[in-house]
Amino acid sequence: MSSTFGTITTVRLGIYASQKGLDVTGNNITNINTNGYTRQRLDQISLVVSASDKYGSQYKARVGQGPVITGISQLRDPGMDISYRKANSDVGSADQMLAGLEDLAGILDEVGKGDGEQDDGVILNQLNDLRDLINQALTNGIENYEGSIRASANALCTQFHQYAKALEGLMEDYETQLDEDTTRVNQILTELRDLNLQIRNSDVRGDAALELRDQRNLLLDELSGYMKIDVTYKMVDAGGGYMVEEMSVKLADRPADDPVYLVQGQYAAQISVKDQNGDFVPNYNITVSGLTNKDNEPHPTNPQTATTLGDNDLYGSLQSLRDLLTEEGEYASKDDIDNVDGNAASKRGIPYYINQLNSLARTFAEEMNELNMPNANPPLDGEGALFETNDNSGDITAGNICISQEWAEGTVKMLSTTDPNAPTDDRSNLAQFLNLF
């Protein structure tokens, strides 16, 4: 029969382990709504105090003396973390691009915004108004419609200005968002570095620092929405042969011989999208700095230099923001396609739609001007440009198109005919104007 005191010790250990188990369970239940909390469990083993040697009897039965708590750990699946963060990069990229396209649609989607009976858009409705006035002038003569046509053309220019200004404002909004997101990423990297240091110190003291790890995992999840990352853990010597965990974060999908680290233990990088003067760099390229600790000292074994990331080096919401700010679609230059991104011609951001709007305004003005400038010798009465720029740049865009000063003052008029010998009722040139629509 076992001794009374031995049994008491066994029971006492069991009660203690059970109490701690209830404490852990209560902690799990009360933190059910805590953001980022990872369920914890009590780790324990069976205590055996007796030992056997070469003289021990084979008939001696060793019985454990109750449970011993070895620590508290987290019920967390590393594979699930990897899958979640990879998917979060996809979601971050898609959500940001969708938000950008929705903002563009809010400006350019004209369906039902005009006054036409067929749910015409604003610009289309104004073009139809100008077309109808020219059609009436073709039927009844230009004399009584010149002023109305000029006013309608001026209203069309105003519509172009409004759309150009809205797109310019959208560019500024996304520049601000890119700057703010870059700042937030840098805050995350700094916080990860500091948490790594705190967790390292806790490891040295024998503390699992589970709550600190929860904070770190939350930050890693948030970071994965901005960019695609790889997170790795390894044990390193903290001195005296004592091993502690070191967490590293690097950009995913990089060549194995050219990694770009964002965090490595107590060292972290910073990203930037502006130059030393505070201006955005060309193409909004993001640069990753070298690794430094909280005292701004470089990493002793990883002298990572500043790395500028190209179009295909980044993924997540940051890259979608860059795409919205830079991609020109079919207007991309050959140099961009050959040296920057081979798929540039198929990617459309805000610049693409700005170019499309500019192309519409420019083509319209050039075609109208060409019909009203036959370069007759001698010049026809009223011959001249109907449209020009309001900034004297010479390159017509949606933002600077306006009716010419000469047309506004009446020295230039819309020509009914370009034949100086034509009869007074010849309106063949008005028919050419009408054909443009």
pLDDT (0 to 100) of residue 417 = 85
Could you tell me if 286 and 318 are in contact, meaning their C-beta atoms sit under 8 angstroms apart?
yes
Per-10-residue mean pLDDT of the chain, 437 residues long, equals: 67 89 94 93 84 63 79 91 94 96 87 54 86 90 88 94 95 96 98 96 88 96 96 88 90 91 96 92 93 94 90 90 93 83 87 95 94 81 90 89 92 86 82 87
- Rounded CA-CA distance 405/384 in Å is 11
Fill in the amino acid letter for 382: G
Instruction: Please state whether the peptide bond connecting residue 378 to the residue before it is cis, i.e. omega within 30 degrees of 0.
Output: yes
Q: Is 11 exposed, middle or buried (0-12, 13-18, 19+ CB in 10 A)?
A: exposed
- Rounded CA-CA distance 244/208 in Å is 11
Q: Which two tokens stand for residue 30?
A: 């009360």
The owner of tokens 């610009």 is: 123
Could you tell me if 383 and 412 are in contact, meaning their C-beta atoms sit under 8 angstroms apart?
yes
Q: Please give the helix or strand (H or E) that residue 40 lies within, else none.
A: strand 40-46
Give start and end residues of each alpha helix (H) in 304-349.
Answer: 317-326, 334-335
- Rounded CA-CA distance 290/276 in Å is 16
**All residues at 6 or more sequence positions from 173 whose CB lies less than 8 Å from its CB, including other chains:** 103
Per-residue pLDDT tens for 73-106? 999 999 999 999 999 999 999 999 999 999 999 8
pLDDT (0 to 100) of residue 13 = 86
pLDDT (0 to 100) of residue 150 = 93
The owner of tokens 């026809």 is: 380
Using alpha carbons, select from 193, 298, 313 the residue that is nearest to residue 258. 313
Ordered strands of the 286-288 beta sheet: 271-272, 286-288, 307-309
- Rounded CA-CA distance 381/411 in Å is 9
- Looking only at the bridges linking them, the beta strands covering 261-264 and 267-268 are antiparallel
- Rounded CA-CA distance 213/200 in Å is 11
How many C-beta neighbours within 10 Å does residue 386 have? 23
